[in-house]
């Protein structure tokens, strides 16, 4: 019989393959908890794709916030991801406020406002990705505080910024702009040129600066890695893909508005598997 956790794992496999593969490399006893957490992240991150207007998206995000804050929902029994998440929260005593903050941050995805500043972008990444890593550490540490907030914070920013740069063609096609305004202004980038599909020297300069910020945060993760318990290593495993993706993003022949920096699934699986013994040393 298919369980709620089986359904959650299927959601992660479909919509977040790298985290799915990393969870398969985690200890079996905590695998369900990771899948439930990653499925929740996947569900709220793809709401923009499922709605045609922001308001229905806000309603969906509010449903998750109400669930986490204890408001009764008759439909919860029919939502396997919600059931798996609630069981995971109970088992590991996960802080619900972190999960609520993830949903609140995702409201930004529903609109076409430009990200105001690099500081705002890092805050967004902290809520949406660093929070996932921190909670994954709690799961892997059997619900006990692991002292990984600093490493998780920087790891989430590095991972999120890399993903957003890879997704630039897709976001630009629907008039979304995650590249922060202060960085764009610093390099005199006309955002409308991005929406028109024009790859300019100014855009390349913005992206070069953003890659520098990612590498800065990777360096901070390495500095904090000594404080991360061995049991929590798997939470950082997807981060080993960041540097290979950065190298692809900085190739001159890659058009950042028309091509997605990609690696074959086999290559990604190999990198993850090779690093699974000690993910933080492989970053």
Position 78 scores a pLDDT of: 81
Structure tokens at 281: 């040393």
pTM, entire model: 0.95
Cβ atoms 221, 154 nearer than 8 A: yes
Q: Which residue from 160, 152, 198 is spatially nearest to 180, judged by alpha carbons?
A: 160
Over its length of 283 residues, how does the chain's per-residue pLDDT go in tens digits?
A: 579 999 999 999 999 999 999 999 999 999 999 999 999 999 999 999 999 999 999 999 999 999 999 876 666 668 999 999 999 999 999 999 999 999 999 999 999 999 999 999 999 999 999 999 999 999 999 999 999 999 999 999 999 999 999 999 999 999 999 999 999 999 999 999 999 999 999 999 999 999 999 999 999 999 999 999 999 999 999 999 999 999 999 999 999 999 999 999 999 999 999 999 889 999 9
Strands (E), 176-257: none
Q: Which residue from 242, 38, 44 is spatially nearest to 154, judged by alpha carbons?
A: 242
Half-sphere exposure of 173 (CA within 13 A, CB side): 10
């Amino acid at each position: 019989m298919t369980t709620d956790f089986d359904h959650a794992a299927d959601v992660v496999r479909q919509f977040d393959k790298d985290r799915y593969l990393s969870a398969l490399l985690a200890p079996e006893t905590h695998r369900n908890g990771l899948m439930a957490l990653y499925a929740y992240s996947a569900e709220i991150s793809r709401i923009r794709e499922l709605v045609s207007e922001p308001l229905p998206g806000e309603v969906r995000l509010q449903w998750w916030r109400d669930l986490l804050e204890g408001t009764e929902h008759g439909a919860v029994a029919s939502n396997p991801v919600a059931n798996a998440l609630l069981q995971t929260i109970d088992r590991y005593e996960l802080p619900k406020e972190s999960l609520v903050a993830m949903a609140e941050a995702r409201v930004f995805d529903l609109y076409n406002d430009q990200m105001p500043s690099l500081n705002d972008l890092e805050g967004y990444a902290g809520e949406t990705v660093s929070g996932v890593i921190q909670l994954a550490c709690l799961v892997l540490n059997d619900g006990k505080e692991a002292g990984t907030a600093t490493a998780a914070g920087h790891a989430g920013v590095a991972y999120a910024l890399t993903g957003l740069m890879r997704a630039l063609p897709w976001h630009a096609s629907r008039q979304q702009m995650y590249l922060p305004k202060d960085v764009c202004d610093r390099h005199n980038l006309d955002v409308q040129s991005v929406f028109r599909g024009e790859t300019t020297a100014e855009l390349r300069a913005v992206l070069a600066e953003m890659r520098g910020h990612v590498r800065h945060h990777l360096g901070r993760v390495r500095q904090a890695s000594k404080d991360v318990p061995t049991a929590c290593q798997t939470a950082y495993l997807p981060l080993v893909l960041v540097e290979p993706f950065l190298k692809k993003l900085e190739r001159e022949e890659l058009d950042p508005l028309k091509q997605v920096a990609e690696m074959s699934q086999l290559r990604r699986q190999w990198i993850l598997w090779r690093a699974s013994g000690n993910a933080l040393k492989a970053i």
